[in-house]
Amino acid sequence: MLNISKSNLDNEDELNEFNSMQNVKDRVRFLTFNKVMIVLLIVFLVFMFLPWTQNVRGTGNVTMLDPSQRPQGIQSAIPGRIEKWYVNEGDIVKKGDTIVYISEIKSEYFDPDLLDQTQKQINSKAFSQKSYETKAEALMRNIEGLKLERRLKLEQAQNKLIQAKLKVESDSIDLEAVKIQLKIAERQFSRTDTLEREGLKSRVDREDKEVKLQQSRAKLISQQNKLIESKNEVLNAEIEINRINTEYGNKISKAESDMMSAKSSQFSTEADVAKLENMYNNYRVRDSIRYIRAPQDGFINRAIQRGIGETFKEGAEIVSIMPLKNDLAVETFIRPIDLPLMHPGEDVRIIFDGWPAIFFSGWPNMSFGTYGGKVVAVERNISPNGKYRVLIKPNPEDQEWPEVIRAGSGAKTFALLKDVPIWYEIWRQINGFPPDYYIPEGGDKKSEKK
């Protein structure tokens, strides 16, 4: 150091004149300060080893656990025009109470007697269907009668055929007998003729034998004619059988064709009746849904469609209703990095907007104004806001949630994780590490990762 100044700073007598120098040289006060700092250091070190509960923070709002209990809009299934309101905003309605009456705006439904006219068409078609059914049954009986008649006629013709065949057989036997007689007559005539030439027989005997020979020849020709006639009768009987089969086959085919036509008309009419009945039921249901009714007990939040005579399309929302029965829940959103730490059944502390609360994230037991909850479900698909949705229900072992909170109220959530020393939590926060990964009790194993 350069000795530029003329003043001598090494002179202790001059420094002792200052009070600050006298206090610095006061050994008793210096020792007291050191003791205080050592005690504070020990307290700080002890504090660093106190347990700290890690948590995952999220923000969300109050909702309903059951989807059917959430606020809903009541839509109209048909387009129409508002004719009359039966409720006001803020009214409480029961299930089935009429909310609004609407009228039709489509021309095909303007007829006030549409249901009666459709019913008349159904009755007419049903009568036509019954007529075709009766006709088909009559034709079926006619077919059965024709089949029976054909069977009897065929039996009769078969009998005639058998008779004709037997007659052919009989005539054939007679023909053989006549042939034998002819041969005998020829031999007798030949012997008589020989004897007559020898003078042993008279001419009269010869002529008598010749007459008998000619008679036998005539009988042969006659018997051959009978045999041919018998064979013709057999052919006629066979032709009659074929004729009966053809005739009654045509009659039965025509009757069956008429029956199938009647049945076809019957089935077609049945389809028309079914179509008309479907239309009738659609008209009846459509007529009933002109009165829009409350699907469940609820509170009328807001009328979407206003005024009398206002028209709307099908599916348009008419009124918003809030069900009276509700099981409150909280839907909160967490960062993707915290998703592996959330499990169903995890304890969660909740702070509702508008309710005073003092929350110590590391010591939840010392908090005031918070309410308990348990994780019900963790969404597996990321939400449009870039976070994952977690659904929380009230903890039955904790105090009940306030009765006056409503769906849509804001809420802050703190999912309680494992306990770690404070120094470790400070070190984790400084390094930007997520809370320790762990598997809750009841899992297969426990593990920790940084």
Answer whether residue 345 is part of any domain: yes
How much is the average pLDDT of 266-289?
Answer: 90
Q: What is the DSSP letter of 402?
A: P
On whether both 389 and 342 belong to a single domain, the answer is yes
How much is the average pLDDT of 104-129?
Answer: 87
Question: 3-class DSSP state for residue 218?
Answer: helix
- Per-residue confidence (pLDDT) for residue 331, from 0 to 100: 92
pLDDT tens-digit map of 148-172 = 998 998 998 899 888 888 888 888 8
- Per-residue confidence (pLDDT) for residue 212, from 0 to 100: 82
Per-residue confidence at 439, pLDDT binned at 50, 70, 90?
A: low
How much is the average pLDDT of 252-256?
Answer: 90
Per-residue confidence at 361, pLDDT binned at 50, 70, 90?
A: low
How much is the average pLDDT of 335-343?
Answer: 81
- Per-residue confidence (pLDDT) for residue 144, from 0 to 100: 92
CB atoms within 10 A of CB 45: 10
- Per-residue confidence (pLDDT) for residue 277, from 0 to 100: 92
Tokens of 298: 């609820």
Q: How many domains does the chain have?
A: 3
Q: Compute the mean pLDDT over every residue in the chain, rounded to the nearest whole number.
A: 81
- Per-residue confidence (pLDDT) for residue 148, from 0 to 100: 92
Say whether pLDDT at 369 is over 70. Answer: no
Answer whether residue 32 is part of any domain: no
- Per-residue confidence (pLDDT) for residue 333, from 0 to 100: 92
The domain that contains 298 carries what CATH number? 2.40.50.100
How much is the average pLDDT of 285-303?
Answer: 88
- Per-residue confidence (pLDDT) for residue 14, from 0 to 100: 59
Q: Which positions ≥6 away from 31 have C-beta within 8 Å?
A: none
On whether both 246 and 126 belong to a single domain, the answer is yes
- Per-residue confidence (pLDDT) for residue 433, from 0 to 100: 67
Q: Which positions ≥6 away from 298 have C-beta within 8 Å?
A: 92, 93, 321, 322, 323, 324
On whether both 143 and 266 belong to a single domain, the answer is yes
* C-beta separation of 130 from 271 below 8 A: no
- Per-residue confidence (pLDDT) for residue 443, from 0 to 100: 47
Q: Is 265 exposed, middle or buried (0-12, 13-18, 19+ CB in 10 A)?
A: middle
Residues above pLDDT 70, as percent of the chain? 86
Answer whether residue 395 is part of any domain: yes
On whether both 168 and 305 belong to a single domain, the answer is no
Tokens of 265: 């008309």
Closest to 417 in 3D by CA, of 366, 362, 368: 362
Whole-angstrom distance, CA of residue 162 vs CA of residue 73? 90
Whole-angstrom distance, CA of residue 425 vs CA of residue 410? 28
Largest Cα–Cα separation, the chain: 222
Per-residue confidence at 275, pLDDT binned at 50, 70, 90?
A: very high
- Per-residue confidence (pLDDT) for residue 173, from 0 to 100: 86
Whole-angstrom distance, CA of residue 332 vs CA of residue 343? 14
- Per-residue confidence (pLDDT) for residue 364, from 0 to 100: 59
Strand duo 371-378 + 347-352: pairing: antiparallel
Say whether pLDDT at 7 is over 70. Answer: no
On whether both 170 and 152 belong to a single domain, the answer is yes
The domain that contains 426 carries what CATH number? 2.40.30.170
Answer whether residue 224 is part of any domain: yes
CA distances in angstroms from 166 to 157, 159, 237, 413, listed in the order given: 14, 11, 12, 114
- Per-residue confidence (pLDDT) for residue 306, from 0 to 100: 77
- Per-residue confidence (pLDDT) for residue 448, from 0 to 100: 39
How much is the average pLDDT of 327-354?
Answer: 85
On whether both 53 and 132 belong to a single domain, the answer is no
Q: What domain range is 58 assigned to?
A: 46-65+327-431
How much is the average pLDDT of 422-434?
Answer: 74
On whether both 409 and 344 belong to a single domain, the answer is yes
The domain that contains 187 carries what CATH number? 1.10.287.620
How much is the average pLDDT of 302-323?
Answer: 86
Answer whether residue 27 is part of any domain: no
- Per-residue confidence (pLDDT) for residue 278, from 0 to 100: 92
On whether both 74 and 58 belong to a single domain, the answer is no
On whether both 195 and 161 belong to a single domain, the answer is yes
Residue 129 CA to its chain's centroid (Å): 33
* Higher pLDDT among residues 18 and 90, named by residue: 90
**pTM score above 0.75:** no
* Higher pLDDT among residues 293 and 362, named by residue: 293
pLDDT tens-digit map of 87-101 = 888 889 999 899 999
pLDDT tens-digit map of 39-73 = 888 888 887 777 777 778 888 999 888 888 888 88
Say whether pLDDT at 24 is over 70. Answer: no
Q: What are phi and psi of 447, to 5 degrees?
A: -145, 155
- Per-residue confidence (pLDDT) for residue 29, from 0 to 100: 59
On whether both 58 and 156 belong to a single domain, the answer is no
Answer whether residue 97 is part of any domain: yes
On whether both 312 and 333 belong to a single domain, the answer is no
Answer whether residue 6 is part of any domain: no
Residues above pLDDT 90, as percent of the chain? 9
Say whether pLDDT at 445 is over 50. Answer: no
Residue 56 CA to its chain's centroid (Å): 41
Q: What are phi and psi of 26, to 5 degrees?
A: -80, 100
CB atoms within 10 A of CB 415: 24
- Per-residue confidence (pLDDT) for residue 281, from 0 to 100: 92
Question: 3-class DSSP state for residue 214?
Answer: helix
Q: Is 292 exposed, middle or buried (0-12, 13-18, 19+ CB in 10 A)?
A: buried
Question: In this predicted structure, which of 108-112, 381-385, 417-421 has the lowest mean pLDDT?
Answer: 417-421
Answer whether residue 16 is part of any domain: no
On whether both 218 and 297 belong to a single domain, the answer is no
